[in-house]
Each structure stands twice: as C-alpha cells, then as structure tokens.
Structure 1
Amino acid sequence: MTETGIDAIIDKISKIKSAGVIERYGFHEFLAFAKEVRTKVSDEVWLEVGWDILEGLGLEELSGCDYDILQDLENIPIESDLIDIQSFLRHTLVETLLEQFESGGTTVLLDIEKMLNTPAAVLIPRIIELRKKEIETTVVPLIGKMLTVYDVFMNEVGTTTYPVESIHLEDLWMTAYGFQVLSLLNLGLRTDLDGLRKIEIIMERMGMKLTVRNVQESFNNPRSNMSDAMQSLLMKRALPKPMKSKNKKSQN
C-alpha cells in the first residue's frame, strides 16, 4: 500500500464514529478494517488510533490507556451488537488496567474526570495513589553549576545556573502530574530556574512537593511501566509548541 493509501486509512479510522460504522456495516467489517490498519502502521500510531476507536464507541473514559485494543476486539464474538461490544470492552479494559496498575503501569494520559459516573470510576483511587507516588519518587536533576548574581555594588541579587537551562525534565514528563504541569507551561525537555519555580508553584498548589537535586551527571529515576509506543508519544508531546503571535497580520 502506498503512503497516500496509509494516510487515507489513518485519517478515516481516526475521524469515523466507530459506533456508527459498526451499526451500519456490522462488527465483522469493522474488525477486518481495524486489522488491516494495524498491519500498516507503527505501534505508536496504532496506540492513538485505538483511543480514537474507544472514543468513537462512547468509551472516552478508557481513552489514553497504554494497551493494544485489537487484542480485545479479536475476542469479541462476531455477531455482537454495539451494546455487547461496549460492555465487553468496558469490563475487559477495566480489569486490564487494574492488572497494569498492580505492576506499576502508567496512568499518564488517562482522564479521571471522564471516568466519573462510569464503571471505570473504580480505577480512580488507584490512579491518584500511583500519580502521587510518581512525584514522591521522582528527582528532577539540575546538571550544572549554581551561580550567585551580584549587582554593580556587589550586593547579592539572585541566583542563576550555568548552563542556563540546567533543569532536566525528561523523567518528569513521564509522570502524570508532571505531564499535565509541563504541558500547561509549554515547557520542553530543559528549563531554567524561572521555569523550575513555575513548576514548583503549581505542584505546591496541587499539594505536592517537587524534589530537585544538583548533580554532575544524569541518573535514572524509577518510572512507571509503559510501552515503547507510549514513551515515544510522550517525548513527542514534550517538544514545546510554538507560541502564537499576538500581532495581527497587516492588511493591505
């Protein structure tokens, strides 16, 4: 299949309402289509397509799971109707996520608010517990030298680092609360002391304390278990978004 053909498939399966397709053509046709797409795309792309499928089925509360849903789709009886499919996936994915959490699985892209008043609400206490533990066990490294800044009268006026962006944020991006805060602040994989202070202020408002340590070289923090596909997606989202200009284009 050509690259254009693959793009067309991805675009179609990402935009369709899965429930409508199943009701119109039947689950057998939809499953065949999903299997074809799976063979044509990377694990990373398929993970996101899987979330689109869940949302299209009305299972938004399970979108963001680090799981290949094709495994479950293939276990659904072909004659199942939409209600049966929704019930099967809700039950199976909630059980799967509980098992993942017991093994230290990631919660980074799961949306607790969407879980409220759904069967997935049973996951919320465990998700919050795991997210707090992530922050408690993550140390943000400052790799560089701390320097005192003086004014012309040799009065101490502040502190900086060399290099300026000495705060390494890779591991913080891998945590759920870290991901939320860093996305909100539009930060990348490095920041300076001003950026660090903004992170700390938001964390404090959330009732958490960020641990920062001045070190000579990077080290490995304990991380939640996640697939390579999920880690790749998070790293891509960690790239800072370009700021939109407030200046309107001049009109001729």
Structure 2
Amino acid sequence: MIESNTHDIFAKISSIKSAGVIERYGFNDFLEIAREVRSNVSDDVWLEVGWDILEGMGLEELYGCDYDILTALEHIPSQSDLVDIQSFLRYSLVETLLEQFDAGGTTVLLDIGKMVGTPADVLIPRIIELRKDEMENTIVPVIGKEIIIYDVFMNEIHTITEPNDAVVLDSLWFTAYGCQVLTSLGLGLRADIDALEKIRNVMEKMEVTLKVGKGKYSVGKNHSNMSEAMKTFILKRAENSTHISKYRKSKQ
C-alpha cells in the first residue's frame, strides 16, 4: 500500500468508528467504507476497528469480542437506521458469542462490567466459568536454573534464576485474568521471579490461583480457542507492554 493510500485508509477507519457516519450518509455508504477498510488492513487491525465501531454505536458491552464484525454488517438490510443496526448487532453477536463459548471460545478482552443491564448480561455466568476453567488449565513455566541465596547463617533470603527472565508469560497473556494482571503490571512475554510474585499476589487478591511449573511446558497451547487475529493482537499488546516497561526502567 503506497503512502497516500495508507493515509486514505486510516482516514476512513476514523470515519467508520463513529455512528455519526451512518446517520449522515446512510448504512450503504458506511458498509462500502467498511468493506474497503477491511480489504486493506490486517486481520488483527480490523478486529480492533470492529470493536471501535461497536463502541461508536453504543455497544460497549461487546467490545473485545473475537469476531469479524463485517460478517454481521453484511447481513443487515440496506435501509436500516442506527437503531435497527444496534438491535441487530446486539442480539446477533450475543448469540454468536454463546456459540463460541460452547466451543471453548475466548473471553480474554470482554468486560463483564459493561454487560450488566444489557442483553449481553446472559453471557456473564458462562464467561466467569470459562475464565476459571482456563486458569485451571494454564501453567506458567519457569525455565533455566534456580539459584537460592543464603545469608551467613544459612538462612534462605532470596531466589534468582539463570537466565534472569526465566518466567515465560505467553500462555498467561492468552487468559482473561492473566491479560488483565500483566497489562496492569506493565509486564511483557518474559519476567523474573520477583515479577512472578507480584503476579501471584495480585491474582490471590482476585481469588485466582496461579499455577507455576519448572521446566518446559507447551507455551500458548492451553488457552481458550481464539482466532489468529486475536492471538496476534494480544501478542502485540504484550510486546508493547515490554517496550513501555523497558522505557520506564531506563528513566529511573
């Protein structure tokens, strides 16, 4: 994509994020812009654009769903107004998410708080159940050597690992609770033992048990079912969190 086209596409992305474009130009023009944007951006970028579209339409409770919103938009009658579109998306996506959850679909970025009092609140019990299940099936591996440090009286005072960033967090990022905690702590895909304790402490306050294992585990294989677009989006978030954390440390 040449630079001028890139600017044009991002301008169109900005326009379809707001429900105002539907009220101003009509649904058909909105759909044409959405189709053009979809054909010119990667799957993970489009996934996020879809969330922004939902949010712009007042459907914040569905933000973070693992779904290509263009699929739903293509089934909306062309003469629909904003209220019709909101109603169609709200109920069709709730039904779609229920089907995804029955197949072990991800809840990683869904916000339960925003679902309360909306038609999406029927999803909440299933989301809570799935989040508990995925934590039961997730083991955070610690690789390399563990070195215990003692004081002069042979009391254990600290533990370090070799390498220092021996805690592999990929699998935890793909869980809802893990993603929340790691984002709040500014952690990336690898961490040290001290960071692991911080994660454990935060999760204990959430009444979530963190399973840790020594040695090699199947990293990233135990999470709920999610699209490749969602996996890419989560990994980019983790990598960005790593860069921010390193920048903050360099400023200290």
Q: So what's the TM-score if we normalise by structure 1?
A: 0.91
> Could you tell me whether the CA contact under 8 Å between 1:10 and 1:49 is conserved in 2?
no
Q: Give 1:115's aligned amino acid.
A: M
Matches within 5 A, 1:45-194: 45-152=45-152, 154-194=154-194
Distance in 2, matches of 1:94 and 1:21, equals 24
Residue 60 (structure 1) shift: 1.0
User: How far is the alpha carbon of 1:244 from its aligned partner?
Assistant: 4.6
Q: Which residue is 2:212 aligned to?
A: 212
Query: In the aligned structure 1, how far is the partner of 2:121 from the partner of 2:171?
Result: 27
| Cα deviations by residue, 1:39-77 (Å, 9 ceiling, x for unpaired) | 111111111111111111111111111110111101100
Name the amino acid aligned to 1:65.
C
1:17 and 1:162 mapped to 2: Cα distance?
47
Residue identity opposite 1:219 in structure 2: S
Q: Deviations over 1:13-59 (max 9, x none)?
A: 23555321111111011111111111111111111111111111111
Q: Percent identity?
A: 61
**For residue 229 of structure 1, what is the aligned residue in structure 2?**
229
Q: Cα deviation per residue 1:157-208 (whole Å; 9 max; x = unaligned)?
A: 2222111211110000000000000011111111111101000001110111
> In 2, distance between residues paired with 1:49 and 1:94?
19
Q: Secondary structure at the match of 1:238?
A: helix
Task: Flag structure 1 segments of 5+ consecutive residues without an equivalent.
Answer: 248-252
After TM superposition, the structure 1 stretch with the greater mean CA deviation from structure 2, 127-136 or 93-102, is: 127-136
Deviation at 1:135, TM superposition (A): 0.9
Structure 1: 4+ residue segments shifted above 6 A:
none
Structure 1 match to 2:26? 26
Inter-CA distance 246–232: structure 2 relative to 1 (3 Å threshold): closer
Preserved contact between residue 140 and residue 169 of structure 1 (Cα < 8 Å): yes
- With over 3 angstroms needed to count, the CA separation of the structure-2 counterparts of 1:3 and 1:66, relative to structure 1, is farther
Distance 1:202 1:146, change over 3 A: same
> In the superposition, relative to structure 1, how do residues 192 and 47 fare at CA in structure 2: closer, same or farther (>3 Å)?
same
AA of the residue aligned to 2:79 = E
1:10 deviates by: 2.3
Q: Residue 142 of structure 1 contacts residue 213 of structure 1 at CA under 8 Å; is this kept in 2?
A: yes
Listed as ranges, the gaps of 5+ residues in structure 2 are none
Aligned length: 246
Paired with 1:37 and 1:44, the residues of 2 have a C-alpha distance of 13
Residue deviations 1:70-100 (CA, integer Å, cap 9, x gap): 1110110001111111000001000000000
Q: Secondary structure, in 3 states, of the residue corresponding to 2:223? A: coil
| In structure 1, C-alpha distance between the alignment counterparts of 2:175 and 2:53, rounded to whole Å | 25
The answer (yes or no) to whether the contact 2:18–2:53 under 8 Å persists in 1 is yes
Which residue does the alignment assign to 1:42? 42
